[in-house]
Structure 1
C-alpha cells in the first residue's frame, strides 16, 4: 500500500483530512502529519512516503523549500501543494519542482480526492513493473482481502479483480489470526498468503491453489513465540468471513489455554460453530461465562447493556438481540454436561417474559439477572465436576497417550463439550491439554531412553510417527536431544 503524509500548520485541516478521506479506497495509507516545515522534513526522512501533501505557508520552512529538500533525497516522491495564496511566483516554482497538483484554499474533499487520484496515477504511469506500482496493487489487494474477511460474499467480486487470474485456481481459504505481528506465514507452491490488519487484529488469509495440502501448516506447527489461531478451511472463497471469525475465536481460546503456539478452531469441538451475528463484546461475554470469570463477565455485560439501552433500533429487533445472547448463554451452560434444566425455570418462555417488559432499562435488568444466574450455576457445576472429570481424563490419557489422542476424544470420554473441557482442564492442572499430553509423553520417553529402547521405537510408542518430530519436541522440552539424554544417563 502506498504511504502518504500531510503537512499543514492548521489543526482543522490535518484532522479533516485524517477523518473525512477514505485513503484506503485509493490504495493509500495516511502514515503521518506535521504542523511545521522542520518537523515535516524529519517525518519524511523517517517514513519515506510515496506521496507528500503540503501547505506552502508553514513555520520553520515553507512548503516549496520542503519539496526542494525532498526532491534532493527522493526525486520519485509525488508532491501536492495547497495554499491560500494563488500567486504566480508560487505556482511557477511549484510547476518547476514537478508537483502533481496545486490546490487553492479553502480545499474541498473532492479536490483532495482528485489530487490523490492524480498522485496515484502519476505513480502508476512511471512503470508497470516499478516497486511503487507493485506496492499500490498490493495495497488494493490488501483492502479487497480485508473486505472479503469482513463481509464475505459481498466483497468477493472485488477481491477476484485484485487477486488476479490466480483467483480461478483458488480451491479453499483458511484464515490465521495472530496475537501480534510477530508470526508471518511464508508462501508456498500450493498457496498464496495475503496479510492484513484490522484494528488490533493481525490476519493472514491463506488461499489454497489447487488441492488443499498440509504444507501450509509447517510454520504454524513449529511456532511457539506468541499465540496464533486458525479457522477451518472453506472451499468457497465467499466463506472467508466465516473462517475469519473462527480464527479469532481460536486465538481467544489459544491465548488463554496455551499462551503461545498454534490453536486450531477444529480443536474447540462441535459446540462452537460460528455465530455470524455475535459482536466482539458478545463473544467476550460468552468466553468469560465459559471460563467462570464472573467479575470480567459482569463488566462486559454492563458495557453491552449500556449500549443496548442507548440504541435506536426497532423494539422487536432489540428483543431479538437480547434473546440471542441469552440463548448462547444457555448453550454455554449445556456444555458443562450438568443438568441445564435446573436453570431453564418453570415459568413462561423468555421471549414472552421479555415482551411484557415495557422499557429497555427493565429488559436490560432482566437479562443481567438471567445471565448472572446462569454464571453462578456454571460456577457451581465446575466446582462439583472439575476434580472428578479431570481425574477421569488423566486416567484415560495415561492409557492412550501412545496414539493420536485428540482433545475431542478425551472430552467425549468424560462427557463434556471439547471447548469447555479444555478450560476446565487448564483451570485444574495449570497446563493446557496439549501441553500436559506433551509433558506426559516426554516423561514416558525419558524412561524408555533410560531402558535402552531405540529412538524410532520410542517415538512410535509415545505417539509420534516421525522420529525427527519426536526429537524436536524432546529437545524443546528437555534442552537436549534424545541421544544426548541417553548418553548423560540422566534420571538414573
Structure 2
C-alpha cells in the first residue's frame, strides 16, 4: 500500500476525500491529514508518505509552497504530489509543473479523475520499484563477482576494499560449500535439473540469511561443473552459539524447505576474508575425499582432512608400498599391500581419527599421481566418484574391502590415462549415441565396454562437448523426435518410445525445455508454415 497524506484547510473536503473512493482497492492507505502546509511538514518529519494531495490555497503555507519545500529537501524529493485547485489559471499549473507536480486536479474533485491520477502514481511507483530492483540486482551481481574473485584468490586491493565496504565482515572466516549430493545424483541427474535445484538452494540460503544474504554466492566452482552455493561464514554470525549449532540449524532449514539431500563442506578457519582462498581450497579437497567418508549432512575440514606426515602415527612404509602397487596397476600386489597396511595399523593400535589421517595421506598421493598425468580435468571429483562407485551396501566406508576396491580401480584409471586412448574412444561413444540413442545408455556401461573409467570418461566428454553425457544424449533424442514429428504421423507417445523415453510426461517436459513448446504444438506450427509456403 502507498501511504497518502491529505492536506486541506476545509474539514468537510478532507472527509469527502476520504469517502470519495475505496483507497485500499486502488492500493493506497491514508496515513494522516493536515489543515495547512506547515502542519503537513511537521507530520512528514515523523511519518512516511509516498503521496501528498494538497489544496493550492491554504493559510500559513499553501500547496505550491509545500510542494516547493518538499522538492528542496533531499529527504522528500521522491514524494509524489497532486495539487487540488479551484483555480483553472495556467500560471498555477505552470508553477506546479516546474516543481515536478505529479498531477493537477480541479475542484470539485471528480471520482474518476482522482482514480485516474492515483493509478498514474501507482504506475510511476511500479516503474520506480522495478528500476530499484534492477539496480539492486546489478549491484548484487557485481558484489558477488568481486566476492568470488576473492574466494578464488584473484583480487587486488580495490576489489577487497569494495567488498569490505558493502559487506559486514569479522575475524574467524570459513568458506562453506553448500550443494545437493544424493545417491547417483552426479550420474543420473541432468545439468538442467541440477541447475534448477541450485537456484532453489540459493534462494533458500538467501531467505535464511536475510541481512547476511550477501555472504552467499552461486557458481564459485562453475569451472569444475559443481552446482554449488558458496557461503562466507564469519565469526560474528555464531558468536552467541556454537558453529555446529549454527550450521546445524541452517542445514535443518534447507532440508525441510527444499526436500533435497543438501550437504555442507565446511572449510578450514582462516583469520579474515583476505585469506578465504585457503579455506576454499580445503573445501575442494574435502569434496574429493567425501566419497571415502561416512555419509553426513555436514563435513568439517578439521575433523575429516587433517594429515600429520611425521611421527609414529603414519604408516608411511606400508602406504608407499601400496602406492607403488597402485601405480603399477598390479591388483594382486594391491590386495597384499592393503592387507599389510591394515595389519600394521592393527598391531600399532591405530583406529578412528588416526586411521583417517593415514587414509588421507594415501588419497592425497593418489591425487598427485593423477594430476601429473592429466591436470586438465577435475581429479578431485574423479577420486570422489571412484570412491562412491566402488562402495556397496554391506561394506563400511573406509574399510579394508572398500579401500581394496578403490585402489584397484584407481590403478586401472592411472593405466588408462597413460595409454592416452581417450581421444578415439570419444569418437566411438559419439557414434554409439547416434546408433543406440533409444537404448538406456549410461557412462558406466560405455566405460566398461571401452575399458575406461566412467568418472574420467564423463570429465573428458564434458571437456570436449561442453555438456554432460546425459544432456548430450537427451538433446540428441529430442532432435530425433523433431524429425519424426515432421516426417511421420505417429502419435506423440509412440515417438517418445522410439527415441528412448518410456515416460510420456517426462518426454514432453524435456521437449518443452529444449524447444519452448509441446511436441504437438511443434508439429502443428511446422505444418502451418509448410501450408503457407504452398
TM-score (norm 2): 0.30
With the length of structure 1 as denominator, give the TM-score of the two structures. Answer: 0.32
Please identify the structure whose Cα radius of gyration is greater.
2
